[in-house]
């Protein structure tokens, strides 16, 4: 392996796995964590037994219920409980290496460079991590190990669930070559069609194309990025202090949607998820981005910079809905819709409420108090137990 050795640890179907661990009678059954059947909402995650029926995260619950058999178990999320389990897993990883970067509640990067002398080869380190997680919390993890973050992440995805894939530095080319272009971070809605027109379908196809050719078709910046990604050249730095550049949520519909109220509900759900996680991480952002996709892969993004940083569900949704309404998309069948927040601003991130304030508070302050109350209810009882009552902007 190269001097740098990065491990990516990803808990398989985390929320669902915790529920099946805690309730042995649910093991082996399709299990969905999310909104209650019969009510408007989406799937947060689901077990692999449910995924066999084509169910996936962010799918509308009504669609999931139509696909799943009668014995399916439906569970409300218990975020506080999941976070406790996540902290236990981080403790396990901290016992492996002093350099651990939490990416989300169910995944992390770990710098294991030099640990071969203490623990053995990468395969042994990976098996040790999986065994310790299983012993500590009774859950399966997929582990990928490689010379950088990109390869480690793709390796952890390669043999899910409960997988272990190690990619040595001299194996990167053969590992990447058969993969579809979509695995490269530099390939998106704009670049994918251009590469397809060149007859390129796999990472290996791109890797064999000269850099000058890529830059001519994609531009200097994008062409260089795709060139490097196709060769497995990526960031190998694991930083426990690294912060996410953005927080986003999106919904991919099983069938294209034209009804405005469905799109509005999806954006409202996404805004609540994004706002919750932004507040949970103590962040506020100035930039709200709307993402929308039509068939076959026509994807658009629009962004709005707010006057002040926010983590408010209402303000995030309002900005995204405004972006949606003022684009000429009305009536077009939508395949995917979502939103995100970025442009973190910590200027007033720790600002405390004035306990001696007697005048009527400004609406933003009221929103912050309501957000705090709703977050506390969600942490205790799970997402969807209580939501804001907001007037609908689209006709039913």
Each residue's pLDDT tens digit, 308-323: 999 999 999 999 999 9
- Tokens at 44, concatenated: 């947060």
- Tokens at 122, concatenated: 């990468």
Between 336 and 88, the more confident residue is: 88
Q: CA torsion 235→238→243→245, rounded to 10°? A: 20
Active site residue 281: no
Of all residues in the chain, what percent carry a pLDDT higher than 90? 47
- Measured distance CA(338)–CA(345) in Å, rounded: 22
CA-CA-CA-CA torsion sign (303, 304, 309, 310): negative
Between 268 and 327, the more confident residue is: 268
- Measured distance CA(225)–CA(229) in Å, rounded: 6
pLDDT reported for residue 201: 87
pLDDT band at 370 (very low <50, low <70, confident <90, very high): low
Coil, helix or strand at residue 227: helix
Q: Which residues contact 145 (CB under 8 A, 6 or more apart)?
A: 5, 6, 7, 8, 112, 122, 125, 126, 152, 155, 165, 166, 167
CA-CA-CA-CA torsion sign (125, 231, 248, 352): positive
- The residue-averaged pLDDT of 363-390 equals 59
- The residue-averaged pLDDT of 43-51 equals 92
Coil, helix or strand at residue 346: coil
Give yes or no for a contact between 209 and 198, defined as CB atoms under 8 angstroms apart: yes
Indicate the range of 239-243, 277-281, 346-350, 353-357 predicted with least confidence.
353-357
Coil, helix or strand at residue 228: helix
pLDDT band at 44 (very low <50, low <70, confident <90, very high): confident
Catalytic residue among 19, 101, 107, 368: 107
H or E segment at 223? helix 220-230
User: Would you give the DSSP letter of residue 42?
Assistant: B
pLDDT reported for residue 353: 32
Between 381 and 146, the more confident residue is: 146
273: left (phi over 0), alpha (psi -120 to 50) or beta: alpha
| 222: pLDDT strictly greater than 70 | yes
Q: Please classify residue 5 by burial: count the beta carbons closer than 10 Å to its beta carbon, then call 0-12 exposed, 13-18 middle and 19+ buried.
A: buried
- Tokens at 146, concatenated: 């490689």
Question: pLDDT tens, 324-346?
Answer: 988 777 778 998 888 999 998 75
pLDDT reported for residue 350: 34
pLDDT reported for residue 273: 87
- Measured distance CA(288)–CA(271) in Å, rounded: 10
């Amino acid at each position: 392996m190269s001097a740098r050795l990065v491990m990516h640890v990803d808990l398989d179907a985390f929320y669902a796995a915790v529920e099946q661990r805690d309730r042995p009678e649910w093991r082996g059954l399709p299990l969905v964590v999310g909104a209650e059947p019969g009510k408007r909402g989406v799937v947060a995650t689901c077990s692999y037994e449910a995924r066999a029926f084509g169910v996936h995260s962010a799918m509308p619950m009504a669609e999931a219920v139509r696909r799943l058999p009668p014995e399916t178990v439906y569970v409300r999320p218990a975020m506080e409980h999941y976070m406790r389990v996540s902290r236990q897993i981080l403790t396990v990883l901290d016992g492996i290496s002093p350099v651990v970067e939490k990416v989300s509640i169910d995944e992390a990067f770990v710098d294991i460079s030099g640990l071969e002398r203490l623990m053995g080869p990468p395969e042994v380190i990976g098996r040790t991590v999986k065994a310790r997680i299983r012993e500590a919390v009774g859950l399966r993890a997929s582990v990928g190990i490689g010379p950088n973050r990109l390869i480690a992440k793709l390796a952890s995805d390669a043999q899910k669930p409960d997988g272990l894939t190690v990619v040595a530095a001299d194996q990167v080319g053969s590992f990447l070559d058969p993969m579809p272009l979509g695995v490269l971070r530099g390939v998106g809605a704009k670049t994918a069609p251009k590469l397809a027109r060149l007859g390129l379908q796999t990472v290996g196809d791109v890797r064999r194309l000269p850099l000058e050719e890529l830059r001519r078709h994609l531009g200097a910046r994008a062409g260089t990025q795709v060139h490097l990604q196709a060769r497995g050249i990526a960031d190998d730095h694991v930083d426990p202090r690294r912060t996410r550049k953005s927080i986003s949520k999106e919904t991919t519909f099983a069938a294209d949607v034209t009804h405005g109220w469905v799109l509005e509900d999806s954006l409202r759900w996404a805004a609540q998820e994004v706002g919750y996680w932004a507040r949970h991480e103590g962040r506020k952002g100035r930039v709200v981005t709307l993402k929308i996709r039509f068939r076959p892969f026509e994807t658009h993004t629009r962004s709005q910079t707010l006057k002040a940083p926010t983590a408010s569900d209402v303000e995030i949704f309002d900005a995204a809905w405004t972006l949606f309404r003022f684009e000429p998309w009305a009536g077009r069948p939508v395949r995917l819709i979502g939103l995100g927040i970025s442009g973190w601003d910590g200027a007033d991130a720790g600002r405390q409420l004035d306990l001696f304030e007697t005048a009527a508070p400004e609406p933003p302050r009221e929103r912050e108090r309501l957000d705090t109350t709703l977050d506390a209810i969600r942490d205790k009882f799970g997402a969807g137990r209580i939501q804001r009552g907001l007037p609908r902007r689209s006709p039913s």
